[in-house]
Structure 1
Amino acid sequence: MSNSPPDGEGSSDGKRSATIQSVSIAARFLTILANAEEPLALGTLARRAGTGGSTAHRYVQSLVKEGLAKQDSVSGFYDLGPLALSVGIAALKRTDAVEIAARHMKALANRIAASAGVAIWTERGPTLVRWYRSAYFSISSLALGDILPLDNTACGLVFQAFLTPNHIDVARRLQPDYFRGTPPSSETLARIRQTRGAELTGHLLPEITGQAVPVFDAQQELVCVMTTVTNLGRTGDRADREALFETARAVARETGGDASFA
């Protein structure tokens, strides 16, 4: 007869390993509850966690006891508890979406032939608060602190797609005449909202492609925009676009924002 603990609860490595593994299994149940769209039955929890029913019951009841989960008295289904909510809120308070986006964009600039940065919204329009020159490409007149045109940059178009018209009108009045282009159509903005991205070639600089994607917080509000400027000869490069979108998904996972990038 095997002396191995059921469902991988323990190990021959000693008490320390078993304790760490117990935390990992408990975290697995918490993750399942967090990702579920509705409260779950015990059997569903066990199946998704890959454990037996008795193991699932022990772990989930322990989470209930600590306030990390709760059980409905009528249906018997399980959901996240009040302590889990408090932990989540505390984590959100410590989440700086701009810094998270900046870290990822710095890494992106080191991987692809495009300079990369992060822009926030100010009363004058999109403003670069982080800017990283590519290790492979440095043909760009952009610099930290630059304000970008509303209509002639991919970054400006993304802001227009997700901000209210009042925000845009104020910035449009404050931007100089030579910044102004043709305001995007409602169809263009709708497409950006659907795909979660914009791309323009030859608008800000000749033969240069700008790409941009939004960054949302956990309340699905726009926090900043991540943007790249791609070198001559690589306009519309699909690999660069996919790299930017994958970066956007990684940022969304950390910020709790919308990750539905086309």
Structure 2
Amino acid sequence: MKQSPAPSLPSAEAALPRLPDRRQSVQSAQTGMVVLKGLANIGGNAGLTALAAHVGESPAKVHRYLVSLMQEGLVDQDPATQRYFLGPELIRIGLAAMRQAEPIRHAEPALIRLRESLEVTCFVAVMGNRGPTIMRIEEPGLPVTVNVRAGSVMSMLWSATGRVFLGLLDEASVRQMAESELAAATDDMRALLPSPDPIGTLQREVRAACCASVRDTYLRGISAVAAPVFDFTGRVCAVITALGASGGFDPSVDGRIAIAVCREAHATSLKLGCVGPPPAAG
């Protein structure tokens, strides 16, 4: 009697489950992030048609990704309006990121780049209870001798650092510090400020340029340029400043140093979650 041949066993390769193509998975993940960021960029609340138009994809394709994002809690949908909005898991992720958004840590690489490219002293300051306080300072190989270091408190009116806080940080305590400095100033110090409204004029100048510069006002023979760092709410949380000897330092708000400082301050702001175009120096 003729026996039927035994069924062949599947090869080891055939027995393994088929894995999705890695490139396809990466591309799918990227598209999902595009949809998620697109939703955030248009206010975190949008209909399918508007969101698809914003990201440049078909509504059907965007809908497929939204379903996946909803399954992970990154997106939610209002059953009454059918509009999509950012979900609870994304909020938790955002809160975790904000807790790590420490301006001093994010400003450190910017200080090093400025020190190396401009060969000037650079520091980052935050607003303390006594005024703008230097938190981290970087000096070039041949530093300019200045009496500032980590922990130094800068003037609100005569330093570029203080003027940025004065112009862009809309808080009563900041104004009070400036008014107290002005009231205690000598006639010679007052002569270095614009008149007849020194505080108001300085605020308007800083708001127009989104940076501040000084020459021989806070420290004789020293010039400086400062630019703001904004957090995710749009509030000034720190100021990056570059300073050097007035003879070889261009403090103009449209000069090379100011442009570099503003660029690094903007890059630091982006790391802290601030959105918007970089402010133009000058």
| Alpha-carbon distance, 1:28 to partner | 0.9
* Whole-angstrom CA distance in 1 between matches of 2:177 and 2:107: 26
Which residue among 239, 256, 265 is the counterpart of 1:239?
A: 256
Does the 8 Å contact 2:250/2:256 carry over to 1?
Answer: no
Of the structure 1 ranges 152-161 and 226-235, higher mean CA displacement relative to structure 2 is found in 226-235
Task: Tell me the residue number matched to 2:205.
Answer: 191
Number of the residue aligned with 1:138: 143
- Structure 1 unaligned spans of 5+: 1-12
Partner of 1:76: 82
Q: Percent identity?
A: 25
SS in 1 for 2:204: helix
| 1:35-114 to 2 correspondences below 5 Å | 35-37=41-43, 39-114=45-120
SS in 1 for 2:45: coil
Report how far residue 155 of structure 1 moved.
Answer: 0.6
Query: TM-score, length-normalised on structure 2?
Result: 0.76
Please state if 1:261 is matched with 2:276: no
User: Residue 4 of structure 1 aligns with which residue?
Assistant: none
**Displacement of 1:109:** 1.6
Question: How far, CA to CA, are the matches of 1:159 and 1:46 in structure 2?
Answer: 41
Distance 1:187 1:110 in 2: 34
Taking structure 1 as the reference length, the TM-score comes to: 0.81
SS at match of 1:190: helix
SS across alignment from 1:138: coil
Q: Contact (CA 8 Å) 1:115, 1:229: kept in 2 or not? A: yes
Deviates more, 1:181-190 or 1:92-101: 181-190
Q: Superposed, which structure 2 residues align to 1:200-219 within 5 Å? A: 200-219=214-233
Q: Which residue of 2 aligns with 1:166?
A: 173
Aligned to 1:123: 129
> Residues 171-210 of structure 1: CA distance to partner in whole angstroms, max 9, x if unpaired?
87699978x9437331321332343211111213345321
Q: For residues 224 and 122 of structure 1, what CA distance do their matches in structure 2 show?
A: 10
Q: How far has the Cα of 1:21 moved from its partner?
A: 2.1
**Number of paired residues?**
248
| Mapped partners of 1:74, 1:112: distance in 2 | 57
Counterpart of 1:223 in structure 2 is: 237
CA distance 1:229–1:82, change in 2 (3 Å): same
SS at match of 1:185: helix
CA distance in 1, matches of 2:20, 2:84: 32
Q: Which moved more, 1:203-212 or 1:84-93?
A: 203-212
- Contact 1:68/1:81, CA 8 A, preserved across alignment: yes
2:124 and 2:77 map into 1 onto residues whose CA distance is 43
Q: Please tell me whether the aligned partners of residues 49 and 59 of structure 2 are also in contact (alpha carbons under 8 angstroms).
A: yes
Q: State the AA in 2 paired with 1:224.
A: A
Mapped contact 1:155–1:212 kept (Cα < 8 A)? yes
1:125·1:168 contact (CA, 8 Å) conserved in 2? no
Change (3 A) 1:255 1:164: same
How far apart in 2 are the matches of 1:172 and 1:124?
A: 13
Larger mean Cα displacement after TM superposition, 251-260 or 117-126? 251-260
Q: Give runs of ≥4 in structure 1 deviating > 6 Å.
A: 174-178
Runs of at least 5 residues in structure 2 that lack an aligned partner in the other structure: 1-18
SS at match of 2:46: coil
- For residues 147 and 258 of structure 1, what CA distance do their matches in structure 2 show? 29
Residues 80-115 of structure 1 show CA distances to partners (whole Å, capped at 9, x for unaligned) of: 222211211111112111211223222222122332
Q: Alpha carbons of 1:29 and 1:201: their partners in 2 closer, same or farther (altered >3 Å)?
A: same
Note the 1:25-44 alignment, pairs <5 A: 25-37=31-43, 39-44=45-50
CA RMSD of aligned residues (A): 2.9
